[in-house]
RNA sequence: GCGCCCUUAGCUCAGUUGGAUAGAGCGUUGGCCUCCGGAGCCAAAGGUCAGAGGUUCGAAUCCUCUAGGGCGCGCCA
């Protein structure tokens, strides 16, 4: 619809160019908006306001000239110049009605398009450390990332979903050691659990599984473990120093093979848990990318070599530094430590190098907002390697704060006092969780009201939208019970009977859907879709209350049934993009 | 201290990337079922868009400053 009107406007502008009213060499970017207020038409353009400065005319005068040169169209009922120089289009009733047939024909693919032209795009999201179950903070990234990916796919991009697994590094060693200490407890040893260890119950579960399968083969005496360790925080020492010493002790006492056994077991168990959790949440991946594989494949080394070759690294204090300040980072960053080990940042440079080498035209990273300081250095690395940093988009997701009974729910990962994503799903359900998470703009802090998400009432926007869907289904059940038939072809033939204001408004809302999907996808803003669905549901409920669909006259009845069936289809499609179910009964 | 993000109705948030008279939901108040699902609908009240300057035909939106809040500033990941 927009495109058709845009075409008309462009025709008019070209005509004015031919008459030298407008500069000939210009190409015009014609914008069409949905006016906010009634009486301002169905679509409006501000071209006259933006172009007036290039002419000697006032905006209103130019607008009038444009209108005079508009080609006639059956879609348009009336055109007027309004306000400071807006051109308002009033569409004919038929223009709206045609959408019903279009929706019913396209079915579940209505709203999908080919704007992305199969260009490849990677979306990496969640990528939480596999040191424990996902918590509600990760949930927002999961819901948001999945929605962005699905939206992009819906407008024709070739989307690749990926999870970066931080399976290397210190945190994983702390986890492995934590598991071992719990295992020792099961062996009857009395060990003091470190302040910086992972204290969650899942650590005990992994330890118990190990004990069950391997018996006591990994047992060592508590005295050997504790011998001459630096003091933990509780004894006035440094918790981090203490836990690092514990890791070394575990390695020495167990030997590399047994230590790796525990390490790998912890990793695979937790990863399996995360994967299952996300699947239940409606989130799946094309690839789980291992950080460790970057070292094994030599990608990290190669990335560092590329930086070196471009002259952006130097040695200082026995470490190798990347001069990221050449690219507006705040300070330079270490890539190879004093002890010869590469840093996490080095892996990340290699990872992003690898992403671009795999041929994705665009790459989207979705990170927690606490990592925002990390963006400049990753982009700097891409620049230094001669890649185009604008191929990478980093989207930052703010934290969600849970409220229950009006009180803020406190959380901290290390102490094990956190609400897991799984618990959230069990408490409020997948549908409400998915919808609530993406209801807000991602860079907004979010208050997640558990009581509201759970409530099966009008306050809850998820139920409100789903209810509209269920209501349509219910009408069709009623139809059968009354022994009536729905003739879709007849309905399409009598769409011109849909002239009630409520019907016109519902039709207009349906017609907006493809634009909403496109806008939400391109802006990476699924919340636009949420708001749209709420408005659509509202239009439907209003219509429902004002008119009876199952009327005696079969022509009108069929037309109305087509309209509400189209509404049902659009709601189902929209909810589907958010992985929220569209129930037939509630 | 420096950097990034945020501040819109009592509360939670939109605001189509600079457009016309500032928009929803919740909450409050008042209405609507002999009728397809009341998990619904309608109406009213509620605003110095944190504050002050600036840019232009036009600013909640862009630039500067100020005040409040969040996050980040490791040879952790």
Average pLDDT rounded to a whole number, residues A166-176? 93
Task: Using DSSP, state whether A229 is helix, strand or coil.
Answer: coil
Tokens in use for A332? 């330079």
List the A40 CA – B37 C1' distance (angstroms). 36
Task: Tell me what pLDDT residue A297 has.
Answer: 96
List the A525 CA – B30 C1' distance (angstroms). 38
Q: Which nucleotide is nearest to A564 (CA to C1')?
A: B36
Bridge partners (DSSP) listed for residue A449: A403
Q: What number of H helices and E strands is found in chain A? A: 21, 15
Q: Confidence band (pLDDT; 50, 70, 90) for A422?
A: very high
Taking only the tens place, the pLDDT of each residue in A481-533 is: 999 999 999 999 999 999 998 999 999 999 999 999 999 999 999 999 999 99
Q: Which nucleotide is nearest to A369 (CA to C1')?
A: B71
Residue A176 confidence (pLDDT) above 90: yes
ipTM rounded to 2 decimals: 0.94
Task: Tell me what pLDDT residue A407 has.
Answer: 79
List the A448 CA – B29 C1' distance (angstroms). 28
**What are the DSSP calls for A344-388, one per residue?**
HHHHHHHHHHHHHHTT-SEEEEEEEGGGGGGHHHHHHHHHHTT--
List the A198 CA – B66 C1' distance (angstroms). 44
Taking only the tens place, the pLDDT of each residue in A92-114 is: 888 889 999 999 999 999 999 99
Residues in Cβ contact with A290 at an 8 Å cutoff, skipping those fewer than 6 apart: A165, A167
Give the HSE-up count for residue A385: Cα atoms under 13 Å, Cβ half-sphere: 24
Average pLDDT rounded to a whole number, residues A310-332? 92
Q: Which nucleotide is nearest to A549 (CA to C1')?
A: B36
Q: Which nucleotide is nearest to A88 (CA to C1')?
A: B20
Q: Which nucleotide is nearest to A45 (CA to C1')?
A: B19
Q: Which nucleotide is nearest to A400 (CA to C1')?
A: B70
Q: Which nucleotide is nearest to A461 (CA to C1')?
A: B25
Pick from A540, A539, A518: which is nearest to A529 by CA? Answer: A518
Contact A241, A230 (CB under 8 A): yes
Task: Tell me what pLDDT residue A61 has.
Answer: 85
Placement of tokens 């080990």 in the chain: A341
CATH number among 3.30.1360.70, 3.40.50.360, 3.20.20.120, 3.50.50.60, domain A2-91: 3.30.1360.70
Mean pLDDT over the full length of chain A: 91
CATH 1.10.730.10 range(s) for chain A read 97-114+459-577
More confident residue, A1 or A510: A510
List the A518 CA – B47 C1' distance (angstroms). 32
Contact A143, A438 (CB under 8 A): yes
Residue A413 confidence (pLDDT) above 60: no
Task: Tell me what pLDDT residue A55 has.
Answer: 75
Tokens in use for A86? 């807006």
Nucleotides of B under 7 A from a protein CB: 2-7, 12-17, 19-27, 32, 35-42, 57, 70-77
Q: Confidence band (pLDDT; 50, 70, 90) for A434?
A: very high
Tokens in use for A361? 């035209």
Residue A375 confidence (pLDDT) above 80: yes
List the A247 CA – B51 C1' distance (angstroms). 54
List the A373 CA – B4 C1' distance (angstroms). 7
List the A345 CA – B64 C1' distance (angstroms). 36
Q: Which nucleotide is nearest to A447 (CA to C1')?
A: B12
Cα–Cα dist A155/A113, whole Å: 5
Residue nearest B39, CA–C1′ metric? A457
Residue A272 confidence (pLDDT) above 90: yes
Cα–Cα dist A294/A303, whole Å: 10
DSSP type of residue A494: T
Q: Confidence band (pLDDT; 50, 70, 90) for A417?
A: low
Q: At what angle do helices A554-577 and A93-106 cross, to 10 degrees?
A: 60
Task: Tell me what pLDDT residue A118 has.
Answer: 96
Pick from A530, A539, A541, A536: which is nearest to A512 by CA? Answer: A536
List the A443 CA – B66 C1' distance (angstroms). 24
List the A534 CA – B25 C1' distance (angstroms). 10
A429 CB-contact burial (10 Å; exposed 0-12 / middle 13-18 / buried 19+): middle
Least confident of A47-51, A374-378, A435-439: A47-51
Residue A134 confidence (pLDDT) above 70: yes
Task: Tell me what pLDDT residue A511 has.
Answer: 92
Give, in order, the Cα–Cα distances in Å from A368 to each of A137, A146, A202, A277: 8, 15, 24, 19
Give, in order, the Cα–Cα distances in Å from A73 to each of A90, A185, A425: 12, 81, 52
Residue nearest B73, CA–C1′ metric? A373
For the range A358-362, what are the long-range contacts, defined as Cβ-Cβ under 8 Å and sequence gap of 24 or more? A358/A122, A359/A120, A360/A120, A360/A121, A360/A122, A360/A160, A360/A391, A361/A119, A361/A120, A361/A121, A361/A391, A362/A119, A362/A120, A362/A121, A362/A122, A362/A391, A362/A392, A362/A393
Q: Which nucleotide is nearest to A334 (CA to C1')?
A: B75
More confident residue, A423 or A40: A423
Give the HSE-up count for residue A288: Cα atoms under 13 Å, Cβ half-sphere: 15
Q: List, in sequence order, every beta strand (DSSP E) within A10-109.
A: 32-33, 43-45, 76-82, 86-91
More confident residue, A410 or A306: A306
Residue A361 confidence (pLDDT) above 90: yes
Least confident of A167-171, A254-258, A577-581: A167-171
Q: Confidence band (pLDDT; 50, 70, 90) for A23?
A: confident
Residue nearest B19, CA–C1′ metric? A46
DSSP type of residue A32: E
Q: Confidence band (pLDDT; 50, 70, 90) for A415?
A: low
Residue A14 confidence (pLDDT) above 90: no
Cα–Cα dist A123/A360, whole Å: 10
List the A117 CA – B18 C1' distance (angstroms). 30
Taking only the tens place, the pLDDT of each residue in A65-97 is: 889 888 888 888 889 888 888 899 988 888 889
List the A407 CA – B11 C1' distance (angstroms). 14
Cα–Cα dist A198/A363, whole Å: 33
Dihedral angle over CA of A533, A534, A537, A541, nearest 10: -170
List the A410 CA – B11 C1' distance (angstroms). 21
Angle at A424 between CA A419 and CA A425, to 5 degrees: 145
Task: Using DSSP, state whether A572 is helix, strand or coil.
Answer: helix
Tokens in use for A520? 């939400």
We find that the CATH architecture of domain A97-114+459-577 is Orthogonal Bundle (1.10)
* Sheet with strand A313-316: strands edge to edge: A313-316, A319-322, A333-336
Bridge partners (DSSP) listed for residue A290: A165
Task: Tell me what pLDDT residue A9 has.
Answer: 87
- The distance of Cα A256 from the centroid of its chain, to the nearest Å, equals 40
Cα–Cα dist A119/A112, whole Å: 15
Task: Using DSSP, state whether A56 is helix, strand or coil.
Answer: coil
Pick from A189, A177, A186, A193: which is nearest to A211 by CA? Answer: A186
Cα–Cα dist A26/A20, whole Å: 11
Q: Which nucleotide is nearest to A81 (CA to C1')?
A: B20
Average pLDDT rounded to a whole number, residues A50-79? 84
List the A418 CA – B4 C1' distance (angstroms). 27
Tokens in use for A271? 């990863």
Q: Which nucleotide is nearest to A512 (CA to C1')?
A: B16
Residue A37 confidence (pLDDT) above 80: no
Q: Confidence band (pLDDT; 50, 70, 90) for A412?
A: low
Q: Which nucleotide is nearest to A583 (CA to C1')?
A: B39
List the A372 CA – B4 C1' distance (angstroms). 7
Residues in Cβ contact with A532 at an 8 Å cutoff, skipping those fewer than 6 apart: A512, A513, A516, A574
Residue nearest B27, CA–C1′ metric? A459
Give, in order, the Cα–Cα distances in Å from A558 to each of A92, A353, A473, A499: 22, 57, 15, 14
Residues in Cβ contact with A469 at an 8 Å cutoff, skipping those fewer than 6 apart: A568, A571, A572, A575, A582, A583, A584
Residue nearest B75, CA–C1′ metric? A337
CATH 3.30.1360.70 range(s) for chain A read 2-91
């Amino acid at each position: 619809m927009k495109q058709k009107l845009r075409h008309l406007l462009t025709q008019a502008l070209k005509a004015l160019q031919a008459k030298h009213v407008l500069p000939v060499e210009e190409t015009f970017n014609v914008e069409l908006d949905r006016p906010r207020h009634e009486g301002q038409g169905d679509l409006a353009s501000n071209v006259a306001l933006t172009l007036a400065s290039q002419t000697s005319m006032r905006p209103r005068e130019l607008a009038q000239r444009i209108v005079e040169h508009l080609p006639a169209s059956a879609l348009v009922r009336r055109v007027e110049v309004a306000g400071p120089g807006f051109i308002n289009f009033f569409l004919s009733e038929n223009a709206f009605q045609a959408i019903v047939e279009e929706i019913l024909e396209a079915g579940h693919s209505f709203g999908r398009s080919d704007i992305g032209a199969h260009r490849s795009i990677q979306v990496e999201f969640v990528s939480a450390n596999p040191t424990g179950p996902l918590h509600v903070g990760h949930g927002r990234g999961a819901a948001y990332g999945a929605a962005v990916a699905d939206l992009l796919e819906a407008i024709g991009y070739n989307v690749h979903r990926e999870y970066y697994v931080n399976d290397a590094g210190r945190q994983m060693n702390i986890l492995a050691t934590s598991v071992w200490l719990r295992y020792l407890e099961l062996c009857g040893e009395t060990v003091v659990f470190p302040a910086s260890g992972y204290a969650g119950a899942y650590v005990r579960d992994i330890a118990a599984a190990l004990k069950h399968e391997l018996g006591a083969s990994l047992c060592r005496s508590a005295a050997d473990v504790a011998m001459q360790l630096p003091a933990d925080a509780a004894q006035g020492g440094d918790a981090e120093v203490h836990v690092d010493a514990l890791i070394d002790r575990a390695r020495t006492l167990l030997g590399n093979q047994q230590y790796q056994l525990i390490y790998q077991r912890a990793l695979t168990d937790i990863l399996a848990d995360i994967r299952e959790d996300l699947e239940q949440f409606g989130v799946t991946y094309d690839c789980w990318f291992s950080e460790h594989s970057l070292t094994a494949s030599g990608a990290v080394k190669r990335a560092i070599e590329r930086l070196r070759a471009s002259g952006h690294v130097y040695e200082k204090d026995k470490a190798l530094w990347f001069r990221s300040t050449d690219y507006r980072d705040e300070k330079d960053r270490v890539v190879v430590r004093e002890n010869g080990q590469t840093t996490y940042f080095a892996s990340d440079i290699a990872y992003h190098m690898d992403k671009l080498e795999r041929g994705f035209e665009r790459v989207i990273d979705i990170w927690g907002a606490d990592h925002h300081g990390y963006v400049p250095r990753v982009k700097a690395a891409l620049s230094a390697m001669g890649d185009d940093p604008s191929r990478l988009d980093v989207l930052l997701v703010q934290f969600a704060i849970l409220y229950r009974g009006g009180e803020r729910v406190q959380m901290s990962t290390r102490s094990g006092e956190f609400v897991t994503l799984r618990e959230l799903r069990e408490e409020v359900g997948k549908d409400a969780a998915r919808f609530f998470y993406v209801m807000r703009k991602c860079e907004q802090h979010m208050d997640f009201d558990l009581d509201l998400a759970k409530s099966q009432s009008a306050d809850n926007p998820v139920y409100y939208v789903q209810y509209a869907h269920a209501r349509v289904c219910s009408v069709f059940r009623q139809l059968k019970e009354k022994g009536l038939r729905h003739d879709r072809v007849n309905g399409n033939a009598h769409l011109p009977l849909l002239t009630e204001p409520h019907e016109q408004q519902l039709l207009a809302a349906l017609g907006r859907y493809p634009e909403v999907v496109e806008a939400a996808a391109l802006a990476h803003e699924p919340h636009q879709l949420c708001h749209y669905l709420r408005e659509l549901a509202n239009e439907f409920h209003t219509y429902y209350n004002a008119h009876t669909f199952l009327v005696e006259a079969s022509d009108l009845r069929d037309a109305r049934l087509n309209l509400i069936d189209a509404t049902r289809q659009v709601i189902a499609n929209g909810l589907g993009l958010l992985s929220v179910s569209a129930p037939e009964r509630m």
